[in-house]
Every structure is written in C-alpha cells, then in structure tokens.
Amino acid sequence: MQNIVVIGFPKALSSAITGVVDLLALAGVTWNSIQGQDPERYFNVRIATVDGKPVKCINGIEIAAHMSFDDIRHADAIVVPTIGGPIKEILTSDNTTIRQAMSMLQRADRAGWVICGNCTGNFLLAEAGILDGRSATTHWGYKDLFEQRYPNVQLHADQLITRDDNVYCAGGGLAWLDLALHLIERTVGFEVAMQTAKAFVVDYRRDSQLTYSLMRLAKPHRDDKISEIQRWLDEHFAENVMVEDLADRFGMSKRTLIRRFNTALDMPPNTYIQSVRIEAARKLLEETERTVDLVMNDVGYEDASSFRRLFRKKTGLTPTEYRRRFSRRF
C-alpha cells in the first residue's frame, strides 16, 4: 500500500486537500463496489500540518490533521494543495508554517520521494528551490508572476500536468483531479486510474490549459499609440487588415509598428490580430448558435482549414469540440 501525505496550511484550497484524499483513498473501492466486487485499497492517505492541529482553509472550513510535519518519517508521495490566499503575501510574510513546509519538502526531495504540487501550490515548490532547472506548470492566470519570480524554472503554463524526475505539477485549481489520477496510474496502473475516473465521472487524460485560458490581449503598457491601435483593431479585426495599411493609418513605418507592438505586447501585430479574432470566435461559439462557418466569416477568416488549424493551436480544441464543451446549455 502506498503512503501518501497531503500537507495542509492556512488559506489552502480545501477541495485540493480533501478531494485528493477522497480520490486516492477510494481508488479500488468505489469502482469495485459498483461492480459488486470486494474493495481493494491501494493508498493510505494522511493529512499533515505544521503542528498536527487543524488548519483553516480559504473558505473558512477547518480541516483536521493526522500528523505534524515532523511526524513524517516516510512517504511515497507528498501532495501540496492550491494556495487559496494572496500568493505574494503568504510566501513573503513571516510565516512559520510556510517555512517549515518548504523545509519538509526539501527533505522529501533529497530523499527522492514523489512530490506533487497543484495549481498555485507550485509556487511553494518553486520558493523552496525544488523546481530550479525543472519543468513545471501552474495556473495559467499566474504565469507572468511565476516567470518573474522564478526565472530558473522551465515553466510550461499551457500544460495541465508536467513531470520532471520525481516532481509532478498540475495547473488549474481543480486539477488535483488530474494530478491524483496521474498518481494512481503511475503507482497502480492505467486500468485502476481509468476505473477511478469512470467511478467518479471525471474526464481523464486532459493535457492542456489552453482551452480554459484567456488570451493575453490587455497586457499593461505605456505606449499610447499602440493602445490607440488596439482600440481600433477591437472594432475592425474582422476586416482584411494588412500590417502595411495599419502602419500607414497610424503614421509610422511597418518596421516601427512591429517593433513597438513587440515592445508593448510581446507579440507582432499579425499575432495580436489573430488572437483578437480567435477570442471573438470563442465568444460566438459560447454564446450563439451560428454555424462554425458563419463564425469563421464573422471574425474575418475565409479559409475553413486555416481557421480550424489556428483555433486548435490557440485553444487545444477544434471549434466544434469547443462549442460542445463550453456553449450555453440552458
């Protein structure tokens, strides 16, 4: 039986603690019960806090602990939940719990235990130096902060799950579902992981955050002219906009336009226009019943294969798949 420890700390996301406990503790149990078979437990899951006392999560719920950090003598895997409170404040405050959690994680890494971080919990792994030189992910909304704070980490914020040696990272706040299922597959096997997913009615093998992330079109900058161009493009993106014509319209050379776009937005004008169009297409697919071809035309594309290829590149799904998952149901 695998020994799994989920750590708890103040202002953690409660479901990222209790949900992992439920999914792992009931692997081999719920499915077998449905099938009329004897339960077969694979995991002994415990919750550890700095002093073995309950912790209050970000939603106000108090979660009891089985043990303290010092009581952890061996674990096959340590799971770090999502930080639910203000990340900078929690990491930089004089917080004994966070310091001791980092010390415990460093000890686990030296021992070669599997370490699993979920969502913003991966900031804790990075703060402890465990992710230096390693591949990792975090919630797509905190990509910029993570990159600024931890330049030595190979961040792949488009990925839902990353693995580098003994360290697993998951992206979204509820990606503990995917993280736990990956842990089940790694330790017990694919069949049990899939049975557990089916028993809990969970999609397994999601691999990207692109589908859920907002495209970064509004990066703060101080170039008033580029802001003016952005406002114009927000209204005219569906037109046949050429970079040369855009430069002429706003009184600058093509080379200057491209340079200022790259400086202000970290992307050239063509990429920005594509992003605006795809974001508009996403909204139309979510909120209207217009056909995919009409949506394509509405946002300025004429070639169906090019539109579908670009849409999939930006979102991880085809337009039809995206509508099926995100359109209004009622």
Query: Which of 36-45, 200-209, 236-245 shows the lowest mean pLDDT across its residues?
Result: 200-209
The predicted pLDDT at position 83 comes to: 94
Distance CA 106, CA 124 (A): 11
Tokens of 178: 């995917």
Residue range 308-314: average pLDDT? 91
Mean pLDDT of all residues in the chain?
91
Distance CA 128, CA 140 (A): 21
The predicted pLDDT at position 294 comes to: 96
pLDDT at 207 over 70: no
- CB-based burial, 198-219: b 16+ in 10 Å, e otherwise: ebbeeebebebbbbbbeeeeee
Of residues 170, 172, 177, the one with CA closest to residue 203: 177
pLDDT digits (tens, 9 = 90+) for 274-284: 999 999 999 99
pLDDT digits (tens, 9 = 90+) for 102-146: 999 999 999 999 999 999 999 999 999 999 999 999 998 899 999
pLDDT digits (tens, 9 = 90+) for 208-245: 676 666 555 556 789 999 999 999 998 999 999 999 99
The predicted pLDDT at position 216 comes to: 59
The predicted pLDDT at position 59 comes to: 94
Name the CATH superfamily, with its identifier, for domain 224-326: Homeodomain-like (1.10.10.60)
The predicted pLDDT at position 218 comes to: 58
- Say what the alpha-carbon torsion angle 99, 22, 155, 324 is, to the nearest 10 degrees: -150
The predicted pLDDT at position 158 comes to: 86
The predicted pLDDT at position 217 comes to: 59
Distance CA 142, CA 152 (A): 16
- CATH 3.40.50.880 positions along the chain are 2-199
Residue range 70-89: average pLDDT? 93
Banded pLDDT at 299 (limits 50, 70, 90): very high
The predicted pLDDT at position 90 comes to: 87
Tally of CB atoms within 10 A around 141: 18
The predicted pLDDT at position 188 comes to: 93
The predicted pLDDT at position 172 comes to: 81
- CATH 1.10.10.60 positions along the chain are 224-326
Are 203 and 197 contacting, i.e. CB atoms less than 8 angstroms apart?
Answer: yes
pLDDT at 305 over 90: yes
In what helix (H) or strand (E) does residue 298 lie, and over which residues does it extend? helix 292-298
Of residues 278, 258, 269, 140, the one with CA closest to residue 210: 140
CATH number of 2-199: 3.40.50.880
The residue assigned the tokens 């004008």 is 269
The predicted pLDDT at position 221 comes to: 87
Q: What is the pTM (predicted TM-score) of this model?
A: 0.75
Rg (CA), the chain: 23
